[in-house]
Amino acid sequence: MVLCLAMHPTAYVLAVGRHDGTTDLVDISNGSVICAMAGDGTPAVSALFDPTGGRLYVGHYSGALRVFDYPSGKLVHELTVADAIKVLCSMGRSTRLALGIADGSLMVLDTVSYRLVGRRDDLFLVNGLAWLTGSDELVSVSRDLFVRRWSADLDLLGEVTAHSRSIKVICASPDGRHWATAGYDAEVMIWSHNGLVARCKGHDLPGVAALSWLDSRTLVSGGWDCTLKVWDIAGECHGTVSLDERKEGLRHDIVHIAVDEPAGRFAEPRTAGVLR
């Protein structure tokens, strides 16, 4: 079972973390496995390439963080925290990496010395993190329904709540001016520094697990109702694609969306979705 994905920033390569703890580097153009990297025997639940693409970070259910070289796949460092590493987030172009931990802690790792340089506790299961490029702030979402903004040093800058059930995912727009959240209440919410911008309704329960921005004004959401929806910044839906391919009564839920930038390394935007 695939549990996490990470898109390489400059190559058409995807890191695929699996339930058995292994992580594969996959050439998306032809589906071939470039190399397979061993885990610690527990599920690989989060993965992230650094902004240069030279390092791949993989977080495990055990609390192990394994750092691999790209493209060799060689293990270059490993450390362990107290609980499962639910989410990883690069803090801009700095040498800092944010970790959301299942025990409710938020940590910042210096990726040169591999020392923890910041920590906050009692956040009740951090499910998602996003970095705001325009203001150099970190945003976290948790099961306690709060959306929190942090400075790079983890000073709390503000917290808001509008969701009625656990928040599963967060995604920041490319310009860093807006961020979207979604979860088990099936609502997609768009935020700015001024507060809630839009409530996007249209997905069915049990909720939404995947978000990605096509550009700074256009958002895509993927729900457990097996649909992709396209929203503008005002919360208007501009299209729905159903991916409900039922077989023997089973439904395949959308749990991850990855989008390449149109002005990036490819001639046109391509979207990859993972169905569970």
Report the range of poorest mean pLDDT among 20-24, 164-168, 242-246.
242-246
Asked whether residue 94 carries a pLDDT value surpassing 90, the answer given is no
Question: Which of 50-64, 83-97, 107-121, 258-272 bottoms out in mean pLDDT, i.e. has the lowest?
Answer: 258-272
Give the range of the structural domain holding residue 218, as residue numbers without chain letter: 162-276
Q: Is residue 42 part of a domain?
A: no
Q: Say if residue 9 is preceded by a cis peptide, omega within 30 of 0.
A: no
Residue 10's contacts (CB-CB under 8 Å, 6 or more residues apart) are 53, 265
**Burial class of 115 by CB neighbour count within 10 A (0 to 12, 13 to 18, 19+):** exposed
pLDDT over 60 (residue 250): no
Answer yes or no: is 193 within a domain: yes
Q: Is 209 left (phi over 0), alpha (psi -120 to 50) or beta?
A: alpha
Q: Give the CATH number for residue 232.
A: 2.130.10.10
pLDDT (0 to 100) of residue 64: 98
Given a contact cutoff of 8 angstroms between Cβ atoms, the answer to whether 228 and 275 are in contact is no
Is 124 inside a domain boundary? no
- Give the pLDDT confidence score for residue 245 in this predicted structure: 58
Mean pLDDT of the chain: 89
In a domain, 240, yes or no: yes
Cα gap 129→241, rounded to integer Å: 27
221 within some domain: yes
Domain assignment of residue 236, yes or no: yes
Does residue 85 fall inside a structural domain?
no
Mean pLDDT of 130-158: 95
User: Measured between alpha carbons, how far is 2 from 19 in angstroms, rounded to an integer?
Assistant: 6
Give the per-residue pLDDT at 30: 92
CA angle 107, 112, 114 (to 5 degrees): 45
Query: Is there a domain that residue 149 lies in?
Result: no
pLDDT digits (tens, 9 = 90+) for 37-77: 999 999 999 999 999 999 999 999 999 999 999 999 999 99
Read off the pLDDT of each residue in 244-266 and give the average, rounded to a whole number: 53
Domains contained in the chain, number: 1
Q: Check residue 184 and give its pLDDT.
A: 93
- For residue 9, pLDDT over 80 is answered with yes
What percentage of residues in the chain have a pLDDT greater than 70? Answer: 88
Residue 246 has pLDDT above 90, yes or no: no
Is the pLDDT score of 260 beyond 70? no
